[in-house]
Amino acid sequence: MINVLIVDDSSSVRNYLAYVLGSDPQLRVVGQAKNGNEALQFINRQMPDVVTMDINMPVMDGLETTRKIMETTPVPIVIISANWEPENVALTFRAVEAGAISLLTKPTGIGTPQARQWEVETVATIKQAAMAKVRRLRSKKGMSLIRHEKKISFKSEHNSGEYGVVVIGASTGGPPVIKNMLSSLPADFPVPIMLVQHISRGFTSGFAQWLDSQSQLKVFVASHSQRIRQGCVYVAPEGFHMSVRDGGYVTLSDDPPEYSVRPAVSYLFKSAAQVYKNRSVGVLLTGMGSDGAAELKLIRNAGGVTFAQDKASSVVHGMPGKAVQLDSADYVLPPDQIIIRIMDIVIKGIKNW
């Protein structure tokens, strides 16, 4: 059984969540709280396996509650937020930075087909969260345990010229890792970056805006036929696969899901291997499942350089772990080391250490 604590100031949302989660035989709602103070008191008495967390609450909001939980008694936290409110979106990604591992929108239109889809996604997300590995936050406000590397500055002409694209895939636990990696890169990083992050519908735009605010690079939600340029990061939009075609242009597609997801990391990696071949760098980060693991090997087989996040630093080692099993990765490293190696590869052309 997976024991769940529901934290939300709306009694109707709490009751609906309790009904949805209670309908699954593997999930058990062990408590409800209408604000952060009540949630902390409950956790002091009984440690749940997963906490669902509202953001905008009286007394103590979801961001502060997430920080306090992750600083004292770390537990997987799933944020359930009203994503259409800009203030909530900003707080939501600050909560992710503080240690929350997954995001869901608040339910709307109970009884509709969309609500049924939300129920299925919610149950699956809670189960995934229960398998996640969480770490204690340092008590300093907003600081995570992932190390920030000193930013490296260089002149663009120092680029070795051997590489044309960096492609990154991630799922559960990915957003704070990606944020820390991108924030370590200089504004004149000479290679475009393309990114597929599995994230709940409605959060992609906020995710890109958050990354843009935390990085010297320019971060966009990708659009069809957009030209990819150095110093820029292109995030796959929700509901569409993203790939790169000859000449360095984005292609978006509503082709069927791969590995049950769209956008899929696999779709992007396949295109990088086909178009850029040995001029591509592939990175597979923390996440549930196996999306991108086999396709990372296509990049390696084409002569590109490939990385998988190591188990110790992964919230969930599913995707990178599968890549290791398939011998898809040239290097298996924590994110701070991956970004250093990418700098060496892209700027200096160093492939072996």
Q: Please tell me whether residues 179 and 112 are part of one structural domain.
A: no
Is 198 an active-site residue? yes
Q: Is the pLDDT of residue 153 over 50?
A: no
Q: What CATH number has the domain bearing residue 266?
A: 3.40.50.180
- Of 130, 146, 172, which residue constitutes the final position of a domain? 130
Q: Is the pLDDT of residue 241 over 60?
A: yes
Residue 319's pLDDT is what? 97
Residue 63 belongs to some domain of the structure: yes
Q: CA-to-CA distance for 351 and 344, rounded, in angstroms?
A: 8
Mean pLDDT over 5-34 rounds to 96
- Of 113, 130, 147, which residue constitutes the final position of a domain? 130
What residues have CB less than 8 Å from 244, skipping those under 6 apart?
Answer: 165, 167, 194, 228, 250, 251, 268, 271, 272, 275, 276
Q: Where are the alpha helices (DSSP H) in the chain?
A: 11-22, 36-45, 62-72, 86-98, 113-130, 174-183, 204-214, 265-275, 293-301, 318-325, 335-343
Residue-wise pLDDT for 191-213, tens only, equals: 999 999 999 888 999 999 999 99
Mean pLDDT over 137-153 rounds to 41
Q: Is the pLDDT of residue 152 over 60?
A: no
Residue 85's pLDDT is what? 64
Residue 146's pLDDT is what? 35
Residue 146 belongs to some domain of the structure: no
- Please count the structural domains in the chain: 2
Q: Is the pLDDT of residue 2 over 90?
A: yes
Q: CA-to-CA distance for 75 and 78, rounded, in angstroms?
A: 10
Residue 35 belongs to some domain of the structure: yes
Q: CA-to-CA distance for 39 and 36, rounded, in angstroms?
A: 5
Q: CA-to-CA distance for 25 and 2, rounded, in angstroms?
A: 9
Q: Please tell me whether residues 27 and 124 are part of one structural domain.
A: yes
Residue 144's pLDDT is what? 36
Q: Is the pLDDT of residue 165 over 50?
A: yes
Residue 150 belongs to some domain of the structure: no
What residues have CB less than 8 Å from 19, skipping those under 6 apart?
Answer: none
- Of 130, 164, 188, which residue constitutes the final position of a domain? 130
Report helix, strand or coil for 204.
Answer: helix
Q: CA-to-CA distance for 102 and 59, rounded, in angstroms?
A: 23
Kindly state the DSSP code that residue 287 receives in the 8-state scheme: -
CA–CA distances in Å: residue 265 to residues 13, 98, 285: 33, 25, 11
Residue 77 belongs to some domain of the structure: yes
Q: Please tell me whether residues 174 and 301 are part of one structural domain.
A: yes
Q: CA-to-CA distance for 212 and 324, rounded, in angstroms?
A: 31
Q: Is the pLDDT of residue 156 over 60?
A: no
Q: CA-to-CA distance for 86 and 237, rounded, in angstroms?
A: 18
Q: Please tell me whether residues 313 and 254 are part of one structural domain.
A: yes
Is 225 an active-site residue? no
Q: Please tell me whether residues 62 and 165 are part of one structural domain.
A: no
Q: Please tell me whether residues 106 and 190 are part of one structural domain.
A: no
Q: What CATH number has the domain bearing residue 9?
A: 3.40.50.2300
| Cis peptide leading into residue 25 (ω within 30°) | no
Annotated catalytic residue within 8, 49, 61, 291: 291
* Residue 186 lies in domain: 156-348
Which of 108-112, 137-141, 199-203, 324-328 is the most confident on average? 324-328
Q: CA-to-CA distance for 310 and 317, rounded, in angstroms?
A: 8
Q: CA-to-CA distance for 92 and 104, rounded, in angstroms?
A: 10
pTM, two decimals, is: 0.89
- What's the burial of 164, exposed, middle or buried (CB within 10 Å: 0-12/13-18/19+)? buried
Q: Do 240 and 205 touch, CB atoms closer than 8 A?
A: no
Q: Please tell me whether residues 113 and 182 are part of one structural domain.
A: no
Q: Please tell me whether residues 283 and 238 are part of one structural domain.
A: yes
Q: Which residue has the tokens 């850029």?
A: 276
Long-range contacts of the stretch 106-110 (C-beta < 8 A, 24+): 106/13, 106/80, 106/81, 106/82, 107/13, 107/16, 107/17, 110/16
Give DSSP secondary structure letters for 70-138. Answer: HHHS---EEEEE-TTSHHHHHHHHHHHHHT--EEEEPP-STTSHHHHHHHHHHHHHHHHHHT----PPP
Q: Which residues pair with 3 in a beta bridge?
A: 28
Mean pLDDT of the chain: 89
Strand order from edge to edge, sheet including 193-197? 218-221, 232-235, 193-197, 165-170, 280-284, 305-309, 331-333
Residue 142 belongs to some domain of the structure: no
Residue 101 belongs to some domain of the structure: yes
Annotated catalytic residue within 54, 61, 102, 198: 198
Residue 353 belongs to some domain of the structure: no
Q: Is the pLDDT of residue 138 over 70?
A: no
Q: Do 120 and 201 touch, CB atoms closer than 8 A?
A: no
Q: Is the pLDDT of residue 292 over 70?
A: yes
User: Residues of 60-84 as b/e, b for ≥16 C-beta within 10 angstroms?
Assistant: bbbbbbbbbbbbeeebbbbbbbbbe
Q: Is the pLDDT of residue 142 over 90?
A: no
More confident residue, 352 or 153: 352
Residue-wise pLDDT for 73-127, tens only, equals: 999 999 998 766 666 777 889 999 999 999 998 887 777 788 888 999 999 999 9
Q: Please tell me whether residues 48 and 189 are part of one structural domain.
A: no
